[in-house]
Amino acid sequence: MAVIHHTVLRPSKLELLAAWLPSRPWYRGGAAGPELVKSGGFRLDDPEGEVGIEFMVVTDVSGPEPVPYLVPLTYRGAPLDGAEHALVGTMEHGVLGRRWAYDGCHDPVLAAQLTALLEGREQAQDQNTSDLPDREITASYDGAGPLGDAVTPAVADDEDGTELTVSEDVVLRLRRTPRATPEGAPVLPQGAIGHVTGAWQQPDGTHARGLFAVLRPRA
């Protein structure tokens, strides 16, 4: 179980993301950079208790229309070998000291736990409270066989999101700019065999729900 420390981070997560997001192909803001507010998210537990895993939703309110972004992050007490390209930045944590924050799509610990969430072997946890399940997060898998921990951080980014390789035949696409859908069952793309759905708060205070990730056979 991850322990949530309510302490000071320097720089803050939002400050790190404001500098990093414009470098992503799915960033939709202008050259002046984003103005971010925290909108929601959830956590997953690392079975070894070493890596913090957080799926943040932040909203850029700098433009005429707010844009939400889904940002999976991992927090480590030392650099992750071979992941220099995925480093979002470093922070000084008031309790844990220096932490290395990574784009979690490139971190094998996050990838394995996300697969476990899809299969129902892992429970999403509240973003801000220790040992509290997040009931807003729903996940399903309808494939023919177990996914196991085969997912690898083989990542492809494009203007629409991020795709992770699960196996030779299956990919998992994260919707980096989730769209709010009407309450009820999500409308899945044709051929989908699994999904993760979550919630966030819009700048006007209303509650939004939408697809965070879709599992499907490789085209």
pLDDT in tens, 29-81: 988 899 999 999 999 999 998 999 999 999 999 999 999 999 999 999 999 99
Position 152 pLDDT exceeds 90: no
Q: For the chain, how many structural domains are there in total?
A: 1
pLDDT (mean) for 177-199 = 87
Per-residue pLDDT band at 124 (split at 50, 70, 90): very high
What is the Cα–Cα distance from 136 to 132, expressed in whole angstroms? 12
- 117 in a domain, yes or no? yes
Neighbours of 219 (CB within 10 A): 5
Domain with 107, as residue range(s), is 9-217
Contact predicate 80/108, CB 8 Å: no
- 96 in a domain, yes or no? yes
Rg (CA), the chain: 16
- 3 in a domain, yes or no? no
Q: In angstroms, what CA-CA distances link 77 with 11, 49, 163, 211? A: 16, 11, 26, 31
- 4 in a domain, yes or no? no
- 137 in a domain, yes or no? yes
pLDDT (mean) for 92-102 = 81
- pTM of the predicted model as reported, rounded to 2 decimal places: 0.92
Given phi > 0 = left and psi -120 to 50 = alpha, else beta, which region is 26? alpha
Unique residue bearing structure tokens 């991850």: 2
Cis check: omega of the bond before 68, within 30 degrees of 0 = no
Per-residue pLDDT band at 188 (split at 50, 70, 90): confident
- 206 in a domain, yes or no? yes
Per-residue pLDDT band at 203 (split at 50, 70, 90): very high
